[in-house]
Amino acid sequence: MTSPTYILVHGAWGGAWCWRDVATELDQRGVVWKAVDLPSSRIGADPTTGLAEDAAAVAALANDEGPYVLVAHSYGGAVASEVAARIANLQRCIYVAALVPSPGESSTDANRRIRVRTQLDDAIEVDGEFVRLHPDKAADALYNECATDLAQWAVNQLTTQTLASFRSQRESENARTETIYIRCTSDHAVDPRIQQLMSEECDFAMSLESDHSPFLSHPSQFCDVILN
């Protein structure tokens, strides 16, 4: 049996850079991987860029026979849910502290199923058709279990995110593939109660003692989980 290629889908304000340490781990373990840069998170993005464009970017990476595994973080969960049905030979979709909207929902709708304020909400700043994170508050929201220098490095990489991406409604139906949800128990961005709701709609779920970004704070443990 051919080993799968792991397609890594980052969350809002991020980029393929966020998988830096996971990429090193996967390379050492002989795992094939690809990482996307979502259009809605790119500097200079068109303000209308939304879920459809992000899903298309992921679909473009699935350009051979596979098999594939999608690993989707935070807002990337909406992207993976939108694109999963288009990827032939998709073995499973792994959601990490992710928003998993139902068909007809946006990621914002999914996040509002439980009205609870997080440190991420405190960090958000709206600038016209874009959303950015206050640099002094982003570390506590996203990287609270990372070393200070690592957290600062990550904060320095953060970009703006289009409002359209959060507001775009999912149009695809559920893919016929296995779904796994990884709940991050020390998350300051997506409340664990929301993660619990999301996980109940997946085939399997597990918990990881981590902040919102285990790919940086606990990369080796994170790889153990997604590969096993």
- Name the residue ranges covered by the structural domains of the chain: 5-227
Rounded to two decimals, what is the model's pTM?
Answer: 0.97
Q: Which CATH fold would you assign to the domain 5-227?
A: Rossmann fold (3.40.50)
Handedness of CA 209, 114, 57, 6 (dihedral sign): positive
Element spanning 94, H or E? strand 90-96
- How many Cα atoms sit within 13 Å of 134 on the Cβ side? 11
Structure tokens belonging to residue 7: 């397609």
pLDDT at position 67 is 97
The C-alpha atoms of residue 81 and residue 77 are separated, in whole angstroms, by 6
- Taking the CA atoms of residue 51, residue 103, residue 100 and residue 166 in that order, the dihedral angle to the nearest 10 degrees is 30
The C-alpha atoms of residue 147 and residue 84 are separated, in whole angstroms, by 34
> Residues 103-120: what's their mean pLDDT?
96
Q: Would you call the peptide bond into 39 cis, given omega within 30 degrees of 0 as the criterion?
A: no
Partners of 5 in the β-ladder = 32, 68
Element spanning 5, H or E? strand 5-9
The C-alpha atoms of residue 77 and residue 101 are separated, in whole angstroms, by 8
Q: Is the pLDDT of residue 81 over 70?
A: yes
Nearest CA to 21 out of 221, 152, 215 is that of 215
- How many Cα atoms sit within 13 Å of 169 on the Cβ side? 5
Whether the CB-CB separation of 77 and 98 falls below 8 Å is answered with yes
Summary mean pLDDT of the chain: 97
pLDDT at position 51 is 98
Whether the CB-CB separation of 123 and 133 falls below 8 Å is answered with yes
**Band (185; pLDDT cuts 50, 70, 90):** very high
23-62 residue pLDDT tens: 999 999 999 999 999 999 999 999 999 999 999 999 999 9
123-138 residue pLDDT tens: 999 999 999 999 999 9
The C-alpha atoms of residue 224 and residue 28 are separated, in whole angstroms, by 12
Q: Is the pLDDT of residue 1 over 70?
A: no
